[in-house]
Amino acid sequence: SFHDGLRSGSRQDQVGPWLGKCNFTVCTLDDFDVMLDMEFLIQAKATFWSHLKSLMILDEKMSCL
């Protein structure tokens, strides 16, 4: 079943120069390399800049584009 392939946990992770602790779920994806959930986006104070095809992380400790 689909849920047999899911693994979840919490760890330090890095997205570009941003480094922080976040929860994650690992599963096989057909259409995407990675999916970020709302919890991560809120925690990292992230926003998408679609016209630049970028993700801006506005964390006070470490921001990045």
Query: In the chain, where are the structural domains located?
Result: 2-57
Nearest alpha-carbon partner for 1 in 27, 30, 25, 34:
27
Identify the H or E element spanning 42: helix 38-43
For residue 43, give the 3-state DSSP assignment: helix
For residues 59 and 36, is the Cβ–Cβ distance under 8 A? no
Residue type, 60: E
- For 6-21, the pLDDT digits (tens) are 566 666 777 777 777 7
Please tell me whether the overall predicted TM-score, pTM, comes out greater than 0.85 for this model.
no
Give residue 48's pLDDT band: very low, low, confident or very high (50, 70, 90).
confident
Average pLDDT over all residues of the chain: 74
